[in-house]
């Protein structure tokens, strides 16, 4: 019997508790437990207490064997026998299960991990545990806020990436609301997000960091937005600013799109329709030339022959491809040469969109060429982070509350969870081998 109890209690794995009985209840497990305490002393007068009553309390625990688990903790109620003592009765309390809690502490911790590390929605996790949304959200806020507020989380950033992302889509009451995200580009982690898209919000965030942290940042990667550039120049004056290659490439393809739409409109008198040759190749036009199969090339040239009446699209497309290839240059010198030839190509054309693109690129020349001085730093990780941000936003069905949104993002992309990996069985060193 002694053996039985310890085996069952080992299965329970809850310090200070023993398992009394297990029953199946409609596919769920109900486990009756009690504490190992056999005596207690009054907190008022120190006299040994007498067992007064037993009172059951129900809490949800981690699932066992794939089944939801409810613990029925048969609590002891103690009574002080000292007539002069103001304390009369009290019930047991242990840190593993808080008073009036509907989840055990370990279940609360796991709920937080699922929301944070796995990126599940609070509603999903709450229904998985069979508790209320507010129960899980309270646990997330309590367990996770210290992790997010830990100053160590931001330590050691050498390359800072800055990017914007939409937080709330526009509706009848407000415009699209943007947030600015700060990323540790080398460490691939989200440092923080702040409301708004402006140099001011970025400056405020950087200026709030300790001086040694700021001095440690050597490079700042940014998208072509003047506000960010100005903020970085004043708040991180010693850091090299690099324009992000991804965004530059995107500017080129945006110009191709603009020209295609204009040519479309001028030659057909209407916006793109399904059977228009140019409309059919609108996606192909955005691809890198090396990613085009033979069939894709055929479709592309057929589309251009059908709709690109004065070769404007073709010229812009070449400019967009060349802009990408700028980054393949062997070094700064070659990069500068290619940039010069590219500028000439744009200037020689009669395409207003290309002239505008060239003006933009010219305005960002130092930041663009800095790419070659910084070993090709790119905001790639920042962009990858943006995809995760979108995923989190979907699981949360769009956040209305910025603080919740920030907490969820940082938990998923900005915190190391150090989750313990189970030891491998069927390894080379079986534990049971004699
Ligand atoms: Zn007492």
**How far is ligand 1, taken at its centre, from the CA of residue 35, in Å?**
21
- pLDDT for 169: 64
* pLDDT band with cut points at 50, 70 and 90 for residue 381: low
CA of 377 to the centre of ligand 1 (A): 69
Separation CA 280–CA 303 (nearest Å): 7
Dist. CA 20 → ligand 1 center (Å): 30
Ligand 1 centre and the CA of 83: distance in Å? 8
Ligand 1 center to 120 CA (angstroms): 48
Give the DSSP per-residue string, 34-96. Answer: EES----B-TTT-PBPEEEEEEEEEEEEEEETTEEEEEEEEEEEEE---TT-S--EEE--BTT
Structure tokens at 241: 């600013």
CB burial of 5-17 (b: ≥16 within 10 Å; e: otherwise) equals eeebbeebebeeb
Kindly give the distance from the C-alpha atom of residue 84 to the centroid of ligand 1, in angstroms, as a whole number. Answer: 8
Give CA–CA dist 263/81, Å, rounded.
94
CA 90 – ligand 1 centroid, Å: 10
Q: Are the C-beta atoms of 104 and 60 separated by less than 8 Å? A: yes
Ligand 1 center from residue 80 Cα (angstroms): 5
Rounded Cα distance, 184 and 220, in Å? 10
Q: What is the pLDDT of residue 1?
A: 44
Q: Which two tokens stand for residue 183?
A: 């990323």
| 45 Cα: distance to centroid of ligand 1 (angstroms) | 4
The number of angstroms, rounded, from the C-alpha of 406 to the middle of its chain's C-alpha atoms is 9
Task: Give residue 431's pLDDT.
Answer: 59
**Could you tell me which of 125, 160, 159 has the C-alpha nearest to residue 140?**
125
3-class SS of residue 111 = helix
What's the CA gap between 13 and 9, in Å, rounded?
Answer: 6
Tens digits of residue pLDDT in 270-304: 777 777 888 888 888 888 888 888 998 999 888 88
pLDDT one-digit tens code per residue, 92-124: 989 999 998 999 999 999 999 998 888 888 898
Could you tell me the distance, in angstroms and rounded to a whole number, from the CA of residue 42 to the centre of ligand 1? 5
* Under 8 Å between Cβ of 380 and 386: no
Residue 165 has pLDDT above 80, yes or no: no
Nearest to 414 by CA among 149, 204, 114, 217: 149
Residue 38 Cα to ligand 1 middle (Å):
17
Nearest C-alpha neighbor of 251 from the set 186, 342, 170, 331 = 342
Q: Is the dihedral of CA 190, 192, 195, 197 positive or negative?
A: negative
Taking the centre of ligand 1 as the mean of its atom positions, its distance from the CA of residue 58, in whole angstroms, is 28
* Lowest-confidence region among 20-24, 32-36, 57-61, 399-403: 399-403
Tell me the CA–centroid distance for residue 54 and ligand 1, in Å.
19
Q: Mind listing the pLDDT tens digit for each residue in 17-41?
A: 999 999 998 889 999 999 998 899 9
Rg (CA), the chain: 31
Whether residue 44 contacts residue 87, with contact meaning beta carbons closer than 8 Å, is answered with yes
Mean of per-residue pLDDT scores for the chain: 87
Q: What's the number of CA atoms in the CB half-sphere (13 Å) around residue 327?
A: 20
How does pLDDT run across 325-380, given as a tens digit for each residue?
998 888 899 999 999 999 999 999 989 999 999 999 999 999 999 999 887 776 66
Question: CA–CA distance from 133 to each of 106, 111, 140 (Å)?
Answer: 17, 11, 11
pLDDT in tens, 187-221: 778 899 999 889 999 999 999 999 999 999 999 98
Cα(53) to ligand 1 centroid in Å equals 17
Instruction: Supply 269's token pair.
Output: 């008198």
> Would the pLDDT of 174 be above 80?
no
CA 179 to ligand 1 centroid distance, Å: 57
Alpha carbon distances (Å) from 171 to 52, 102, 166, 168, 177? 61, 38, 13, 9, 10
Cβ–Cβ < 8 Å for 11, 19: yes
CB 382 within 8 A of CB 183: yes
Q: Which residues contact 104 (CB under 8 A, 6 or more apart)?
A: 14, 59, 60, 61, 62, 71, 96, 97
Distance from the CA of 79 to the center of ligand 1, in angstroms? 8
Residue 28 sits at φ, ψ, to 5 deg, of -110, 160
Distance of CA 29 to the CA centre of its chain: 35
């Amino acid at each position: 019997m002694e053996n039985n109890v310890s085996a069952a209690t080992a299965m329970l794995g809850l310090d200070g508790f023993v398992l009394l009985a297990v029953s199946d209840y409609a596919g769920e497990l109900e486990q009756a437990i009690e504490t190992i305490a056999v005596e207690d002393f009054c907190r008022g007068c120190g006299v040994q207490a007498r067992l007064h009553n037993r009172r059951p309390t129900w809490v949800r625990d981690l699932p066992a064997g794939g089944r939801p688990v409810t613990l029925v903790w048969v609590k002891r109620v103690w009574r002080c026998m000292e007539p002069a003592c103001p304390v009369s009765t009290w019930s047991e309390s242990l840190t593993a299960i808080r008073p009036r809690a509907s989840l055990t502490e370990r279940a609360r911790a796991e709920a937080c991990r699922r929301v944070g590390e796995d990126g599940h929605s609070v509603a999903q996790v709450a229904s998985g545990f069979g508790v209320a949304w507010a129960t899980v959200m309270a646990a997330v806020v309590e367990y996770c806020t210290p992790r997010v507020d830990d100053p160590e989380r931001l330590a050691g950033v050498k390359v800072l990436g800055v990017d914007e992302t939409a937080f709330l889509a526009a509706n009848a009451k407000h415009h699209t609301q943007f947030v600015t995200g700060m990323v540790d580009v080398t460490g691939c982690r989200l440092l923080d997000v702040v409301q708004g898209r402006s140099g001011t919000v970025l400056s405020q965030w950087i200026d709030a960091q300790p001086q040694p942290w700021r001095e440690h940042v050597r490079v700042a990667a940014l998208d072509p937005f003047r506000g960010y550039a100005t903020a970085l120049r004043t708040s991180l004056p010693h850091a090299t600013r690099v324009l992000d290659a991804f965004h530059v490439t995107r500017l080129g393809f945006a110009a191709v799109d603009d020209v295609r739409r204009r040519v479309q409109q001028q030659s057909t008198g209407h916006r793109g329709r399904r059977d228009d040759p140019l409309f059919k190749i609108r996606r192909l036009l955005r691809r890198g030339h090396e990613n085009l199969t033979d069939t894709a090339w055929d479709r592309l040239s057929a589309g251009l022959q059908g709709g690109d009446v004065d070769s404007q699209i073709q010229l812009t497309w070449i400019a967009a491809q060349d802009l990408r290839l700028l980054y393949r240059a062997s070094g700064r010198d070659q990069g500068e040469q290619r940039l010069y030839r590219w500028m000439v190509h744009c200037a020689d054309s009669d395409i207003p969109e290309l002239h505008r693109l060239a003006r933009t690129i010219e305005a960002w020349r130092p930041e663009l060429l800095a790419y070659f001085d910084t070993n090709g730093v790119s905001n790639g990780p920042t962009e990858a982070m943006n995809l995760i941000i979108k995923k989190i936003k979907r699981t949360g069905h769009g956040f209305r509350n910025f603080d919740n949104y920030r907490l969820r993002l940082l938990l998923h992309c900005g915190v190391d969870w150090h989750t313990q990996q189970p030891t491998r069985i069927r390894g080379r060193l079986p534990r049971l081998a004699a």
